[in-house]
Amino acid sequence: MIKLIDDTLREGLQSPGLSFTIQEKIKIAELLGKAGIETAIVSYPSAHWSEKKVTEEIISKNLIKNVYGLGRAIKNDIDEIYNTGAHIALHFPFIYENIDKVIEDIKYAIKKDDLTTVALVDVVSNRSSIINILKKLYDIGLRKAQLPDTTGKAMPPFMRDLIKEVKMNFKEDMEVEVHCHNDHGLAIANCLAALEEGASSVSVTVYGIGERNGIADLYIIYNALKKYGKQINLNEDHLSNLYKYVGELLINKVGYQFFFDNFPIIGTNTNIMTAGTHASYQSLFSQKGFSVNVYAGKSLIKKILQSYNINLSDEKLTALVNIIKDKSVNEGRALTYDEVLKLSKEV
pLDDT in tens, 203-261: 999 999 999 999 999 999 999 999 999 989 999 999 999 999 999 999 999 999 999 99
Q: Where residue 291 falls among pLDDT bands split at 50, 70, 90?
A: very high
Q: Tell me 125's DSSP state.
A: T
Residues 208 and 326 in one domain: no
How confident is the model at residue 126, as a pLDDT? 84
**CA gap 305, 321 in Å, rounded:** 12
Q: Three-state SS for 205?
A: strand
List, in order, residues 6 or more apart from 189 with CB less than 8 Å away. Answer: 156
Residues 179 and 285 in one domain: no
Alpha-carbon Rg for the chain, nearest whole angstrom, is: 19
**CA gap 131, 31 in Å, rounded:** 37
How confident is the model at residue 121, as a pLDDT? 85
Residues 145 and 91 in one domain: yes
How confident is the model at residue 97, as a pLDDT? 73
Residues 198 and 289 in one domain: no
Residues 64 and 205 in one domain: yes
Residues 149 and 57 in one domain: yes
Domain span including residue 169: 3-257
Residues 11 and 133 in one domain: yes
Residues 215 and 307 in one domain: no
How confident is the model at residue 199, as a pLDDT? 96
Domain boundary among 257, 282, 301: 257
- What is the CATH classification number for the domain harbouring 223? 3.20.20.70
Q: Where residue 94 falls among pLDDT bands split at 50, 70, 90?
A: low
Q: Where residue 96 falls among pLDDT bands split at 50, 70, 90?
A: low
Spatial CA neighbour of 116 closest among 93, 94, 137: 137
Spatial CA neighbour of 206 closest among 236, 234, 241, 242: 242
| 19-36: pLDDT as tens digits | 999 999 999 999 999 999
Number of folded domains that form the chain? 2
Residue 208 resides in a domain: yes
Q: Residues 42, 61: contact at Cβ < 8 Å?
A: no
**CA gap 293, 310 in Å, rounded:** 20
Evaluate if residue 301 carries a pLDDT over 90: yes
| 2-61: pLDDT as tens digits | 999 999 999 999 999 999 999 999 999 999 999 999 999 999 999 999 999 999 999 999
Instruction: Write down the mean pLDDT value for the chain.
Output: 94
Evaluate if residue 279 carries a pLDDT over 60: no
Q: Where residue 1 falls among pLDDT bands split at 50, 70, 90?
A: confident
What average pLDDT does the segment 326-344 reach? 96
Residues 232 and 105 in one domain: yes
Residue 262 resides in a domain: no
Residues 168 and 299 in one domain: no
Q: Which residue intervals of the chain are DSSP H helices? A: 22-35, 49-60, 75-82, 99-112, 130-139, 156-170, 187-196, 218-227, 236-253, 257-261, 276-279, 298-306, 314-331, 337-346
Domain boundary among 257, 286, 301: 257
Residue 265 resides in a domain: no
What average pLDDT does the segment 181-188 reach? 98
Residue 263 resides in a domain: no
Domain boundary among 257, 283, 298: 257
How confident is the model at residue 281, as a pLDDT? 52
How confident is the model at residue 275, as a pLDDT? 72
Residues 230 and 127 in one domain: yes
Q: Residues 148, 177: contact at Cβ < 8 Å?
A: no
Q: What is the chain's length?
A: 347
Evaluate if residue 283 carries a pLDDT over 70: no
